[in-house]
Structure 1
Amino acid sequence: MPYDQEKQTAIAAVTQAAQLCEAVRQGLVPAAIEKNDKSPVTIADYGAQALICKALAEAFPSDPVVGEEDTTDLRQAAPVLAAVTAQVQQALPSATDSDVLSYIDHGNGDVAPRYWTLDPIDGTKGFLRGDQYAIALALIEDGEIKVGVLGCPFLSFGNETGLLLVAVRGEGTVMMPLAGGQPQRLTVADTSDSDHYRLVESMESGHGDHGQQHAVAHAVGITAPSLRMDSQAKYAAVAAGQAVLYLRLPSPKTPDYREKIWDHAAGVIVVEEAGGRVTDMHGKPLDFASAARFPNNKGVVVSNGAIHDAVLAALRGA
């Protein structure tokens, strides 16, 4: 089947990275350092990027990877580098510090006709709190997302905790336990599903315009309390029918902010292939062909599809 090698490579790499992340989260008080933008980054971020980039470089050596992390700060923090290498060695026993730095920097590629984009831990603050986070990997060709994998080690739907969501363009979205098991095909919630007719939104108040998001949700008849979680696990909630709407609208404090591609790519295809719809707040498709940040898109609207036009109309009237 088309993209089967890409899908299998991505599943294996994200699963391996999720195991590293959980080993760090469960076994350590997460050791965080600060990047130049002051957001926390952990041993797990670097280790997950190293493992995934190593796998992609071996399987698809011509494909650039546009990842979140680089080694600028890590090269100045020898104890953290040693800790990252020790974690990577659990999967790759022969890896050296130099190898690990090289693997991570393989993720410093540029947008191209075909490339991967990676967020090794989306929702680092959630990871540090012991809440939701996601390992998010996607393949883009000619501006269209072809494969997306979301590893959500702390996510629970039903009796399983630790879930993997996988989507291939034209083949639908499936969900399976990270620990292994049968895949389950996902479908977004029907608008008549009153139990799940709700908004899912970020735990972080600075992530979007929460006031406007609630007003728009109310305008389309959503009155239930919001589901709150970190990371692209919010996309998983929409794809799995646990919510019908996720809005990421620019904060009034940063009205010109443009979203990063790795914060959305895997989630977008997971929702779309489950029957949902994703655009910017003006109804335009997200542009994955141009740059690491969306140059021509403002905000992100994620829905079950059925309410999407009504949401866009509410935004125009806001």
Structure 2
Amino acid sequence: MPPLLRLSLPPHRLLLVVGRRRRRLESPPPTPRHYRVCVRAAAAEAADASVSVSVSVSVEEAHGLPFPPERAAYHRELAAAAAAVERACRLCVDVRRTLLSGDKKILEKNDQTPVTVADFGVQALISLELQRSFPTIPLVAEEDSASVRSNNVLVESISSAVADNVSHVDSSLTHDEVLRAIDRGGKDVVSSSTYWVLDPIDGTQGFLRGDDTLYLVGLALLVNGKAVVGVMGCPNWANDTIADGKVGSSSSPLDRGILTVAHVGCGTWSRRLSMVQLPMVQDTWNRCLVDSCPDIHKARFCLSDNQTWNMIPLSVLFNSTMDESNHRDENEILISYVHSGSLCKYLTVASGRASVFVLKARTKTLKSWDHAVGVICVEEAGGQVSDWSGKPLDLAADLTARRDICPWGGILITNGVLHDELVEMISANHK
């Protein structure tokens, strides 16, 4: 058996293709087996140029991230976050299967938005997973357990969902341990400059629908006000996902699901979600890149389904259309509505399926968990994020609870090429 080789190829240029092999859960971890893999290094001067290098890698290495630890200061944190989010997505899928069987799994939060077993279960699960590996890093998240503590049936459902998906349980999880895990992301003062920001389910309305509307789990690590690590898990994402926020009719459930990771300086990458809890070699990581559209009138704009084109300052300068089959002149912009949460729109831009996402802020403050992971995923994919004045989002604006951000006017997410021109237009026409 030849020794393992460490590659010195530059980051973001590796594509691992490894065969799947299953291992029985009840057996102890075997001695690492080795597989032949093909590594393609794309030449910097030619996108289609490649070389093939045959090396041996262990199963454990194939489970890893698409870039080596020595090139990523937060490699361990990202690996743990990706594993936790993937487990959380399995929890979401499990809960969603039974969601419509009864109304006891649905509540109304104080702001009248629906919340489910999955919201609380995801927060508890990720809290437990991260606390095991990084007990000193606090968590900032959307939910707290106050609204569920008096509902024994709901607490039992949440605890059961968490126990079915948590990675290691030395003894049975108690209800109190699950509730404390939820509250670890509560509203306490966060004095540390390093902390996690979690949106348990972005697009809860979509999660509750009986169709394939997009929703995702979003997790970011912030250090000194900057997102340095980000993970998005989107169970309904498919190769033929279109801009209306639904998967195509030709997509089977086995084709759905994407896990997207980003690390500062290492790019944004994605692979298919593994919805089975068997340890196996994962699918190939693919680099995510924003599109390169240089013309505003040729770009696809993404809007929230609760906002209209005339709410955006650009409506003073451009008409809009949702019909991409018609020829558009320079005074008309193609828009599409993504029926899901804000982070799904960030993912749409980061993956190159839309050039621009424009969001009008209806209040002076927005929640950090709706944007933190989206910022790093878009920026590491080559895009740009700012408020309507062109200033980067201040993710550390809330110095106590770390929950609020205060963008001027709204948020602009673009492929980068169009950013400065759009900022100038928006800021000049925003009242």
Whether these two folds match at TM > 0.5 is yes
**Compared CA separation, residues 287 and 225, structure 1 to 2 (3 A):** closer
Task: Name the SS for the 1:215 alignment partner.
Answer: helix
Matched AA of 2:219: L
- Confirm whether residue 300 of structure 1 aligns to residue 411 of structure 2: yes
Matches of residues 92-241 of structure 1 in structure 2 within 5 Å?
Answer: 92=166, 94-108=172-186, 109-111=188-190, 112-129=192-209, 130=211, 131-158=213-240, 160-179=255-274, 180-191=282-293, 197-203=299-305, 205=306, 208=307, 210-213=309-312, 215=315, 218=318, 223-231=333-341, 232-241=343-352
Match of 2:157 in 1: 83
CA distance in 2 between counterparts of 1:262 and 1:176 reads 23
Contact 1:200–1:229 under 8 Å retained in 2: no
Q: Distance in 1 between matches of 2:317 and 2:220?
A: 29
State the alpha-carbon separation in 1 of the partners of residues 410 and 145 from structure 2.
Answer: 29
Name the residue aligned to 2:384: 277
Give the equivalent residue in structure 2 for 1:47: 121
Asked if the contact 1:197–1:243 (Cα under 8 Å) also holds between the matched residues in 2, the reply is yes
Q: Please give the alpha-carbon distance, in whole angstroms, between the structure 2 residues aligned to 1:192 and 1:312.
A: 14
User: Structure 1, residues 16-61: CA drift from partner, whole Å, max 9, x if none?
Assistant: 0000001111233172101222211100000000110001111111
Shift of 1:296: 5.6
The residue type equivalent to 1:147 in the other structure is V
Q: Distance in 2 between matches of 1:210 and 1:26?
A: 35
Q: What runs of 5+ residues in structure 1 fail to find an aligned partner?
A: none
Secondary structure (helix, strand or coil) at the match of 2:222 reads: strand
Secondary structure of the residue aligned to 1:242 is coil
TM-score, L = length of structure 2? 0.68
Give 1:314's aligned residue: 425
How much has 1:289 moved relative to structure 2? Answer: 1.5
Contact 2:203/2:340 (<8 A) preserved: yes
In 2, distance between residues paired with 1:123 and 1:226? 17
Partner Cα separation in structure 2 for residue 195 and residue 227 of structure 1: 17
Matching residue of 2:146: 72
Please state how far the C-alpha of 1:192 moved relative to its aligned partner. Answer: 5.1
Instruction: Classify 1:113/1:297 alpha carbon distance in 2 versus 1 (closer, same or farther; 3 Å).
Output: farther
Q: Aligned residue for 2:366?
A: 259
Distance in 2 (CA, whole Å) between partners of 1:222 and 1:150 is: 32
Query: Alignment partner of 2:334: what SS?
Result: coil
In percent, how many aligned pairs have the same letter?
37
CA deviations over 1:89-140 (Å, ceiling 9, x no partner): 2124621211110111111254431000000001111111141111000000
Rg comparison, structure with higher value: 2
Which amino acid counterpart does residue 318 of structure 2 have in structure 1?
H
Alpha carbons 1:133, 1:152 under 8 Å: kept: yes
Contact 1:276 1:304 in 2 (8 A): yes
TM-score (norm 1): 0.91
8 Å CA contact retained: 1:198, 1:227: no
Aligned 8 A contact 2:388 2:407 in 1: no
The alignment partner of 1:155 has SS state of: coil
CA contact (8 A) 1:149 1:266 kept: yes
